[in-house]
């Protein structure tokens, strides 16, 4: 295994609570993929963990959030045992793999929260 990138991010959940009070629908649509909304109660904690995971991914990629990857193109889903996984939407994955200069990549993620903070670390490998 060869590591291509490492990223970490911390989010203050209180900041997300404030955003949700002002602009709930737009913010949720900007941050979450539809697969992350399905059957979920979208709380500030839930969004903060996704937000930190996605920023951590963008740092592991080395681009930040922007042209190569948008928040709602990154899909963070938990397996039945609770372990989070990362998937990238098809169109965006092409851009991601081009940036990484590989045909295939693996993503590893770890997430934690302890109010008022949520944090995540992502490793990208080939």
Q: Which residue is nearest to ligand COA (CB)?
A: 64
Judged by beta carbon, residue 49 or residue 59, the one nearer ligand COA is 59
Distance (Å, whole) CA 39 – CA 35: 9
- Candidates 63-71, 73-81, 103-111, 115-123; binding stretch for ligand COA (CB under 6 A): 63-71
- Shortest distance, CB of residue 80 to ligand COA, whole angstroms? 30
Judged by beta carbon, residue 35 or residue 64, the one nearer ligand COA is 64
Does the footprint of ligand COA cover residue 72 (CB under 6 A)? no
Does the footprint of ligand COA cover residue 73 (CB under 6 A)? no
Judged by beta carbon, residue 62 or residue 81, the one nearer ligand COA is 62
Residue 14: name the closest of 116, 118, 124 by CA: 116
Distance (Å, whole) CA 45 – CA 34: 18
Residue 74: name the closest of 59, 98, 55 by CA: 55
Q: What angle do CA 70, 97, 62 make, to 5 degrees?
A: 60
Site for ligand COA in 40-59 (CB under 6 A): 55, 58-59
Give 21's contacts (C-beta < 8 A, 6+ positions apart): none
Residues that bind ligand COA (CB under 6 A): 7, 9, 30, 55, 58-59, 62-66
């Amino acid at each position: 295994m060869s590591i291509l990138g490492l990223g970490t991010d911390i989010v203050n959940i209180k900041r997300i609570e404030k955003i949700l009070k002002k602009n709930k629908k737009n913010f949720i649509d900007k941050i979450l993929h539809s697969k992350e909304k399905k059957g979920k109660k979208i709380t500030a904690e839930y969004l903060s963990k996704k937000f930190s995971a996605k920023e951590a991914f963008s740092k592991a990629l080395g681009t930040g959030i922007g042209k190569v990857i948008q928040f709602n193109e990154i899909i963070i889903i938990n397996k039945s045992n609770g372990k989070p996984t990362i998937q990238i939407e098809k169109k965006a994955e092409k851009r991601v793999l081009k940036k990484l200069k590989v045909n295939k990549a693996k993503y590893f993620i770890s997430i934690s929260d302890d109010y008022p903070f949520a944090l995540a670390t992502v490793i990208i490998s080939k």
